[in-house]
Amino acid sequence: MVRLSVNINKIATLRNARGGNIPDVIRAAVDCERFGAQGITVHPRPDERHIRYQDVLDLRPVVSTEFNIEGYPSRRFLDLVARVKPEQVTLVPDPPNALTSNAGWDTVRHRELLTDVIAELQSHGIRTSIFIETDLEMIARAADVGTDRVELYTEPYAEQFPEDQVAAVTPFAKAAQAAHEAGLGVNAGHDLNLDNLRFFAVNVPHLLEVSIGHALISDALYFGLQNTIQLYLRCLDKG
């Protein structure tokens, strides 16, 4: 079964809109795990507009599944994850003012940066993943920089899915196979939801993990957090 990591950034966004500690990000993470999530994802950005750096420190003692921290490899970010030592770090090429992650790494242009950063992370015993598109050359070069996994950027899949499901998923199936043949684990995320997730999970080979935040937290407003997590887990169950 593909693992579900719940991105709790949106819970922090709601908290920050009012101040105080409602909703409680730490409690939400614990509840997500209790309701069946196999991982917790956070993406602390430089302006801390949702998840704060202190949240990451506070989450470490309570996350009992896989803790996945996403971010651009600034010095501040690297110092944070070296201190926290999550199970996985997912590197994204976002500029500081990006609204959300919207592109994958150019593993040719940024080969030296990625090679150095990944080696540093792995020296702390942290599994690394890099956000990437379906370009097969970029995936091949991802193996060269030493990453353990790639996370396929799935917004193009989500956009095309309503019109042509097969055409939407085909580049991702090919990319996942190429990554597997290059010795890389395969994760995926961005705009996956209850409508498109099962088709993706069934048709993309070697998929290990999906990270889902915005859609899942939005669905929880209607269905409740526990029920929503179960709905997503059913989408990932290929049995």
> Which residues are identified as catalytic?
43, 70, 190
H helices within the chain, ranges in order? 9-18, 25-34, 53-59, 75-84, 111-123, 136-144, 155-160, 165-181, 197-203, 214-223, 225-236
- Count Cα neighbours of 124 within 13 Å in the Cβ-side half-sphere: 19
**Residues 6 or more apart whose Cβ sits within 8 Å of residue 227:** none
The DSSP secondary-structure symbol of 49 reads: S
- State both tokens at 154: 């799935």
Quick check: 161 and 195 in contact, CB under 8 A? yes
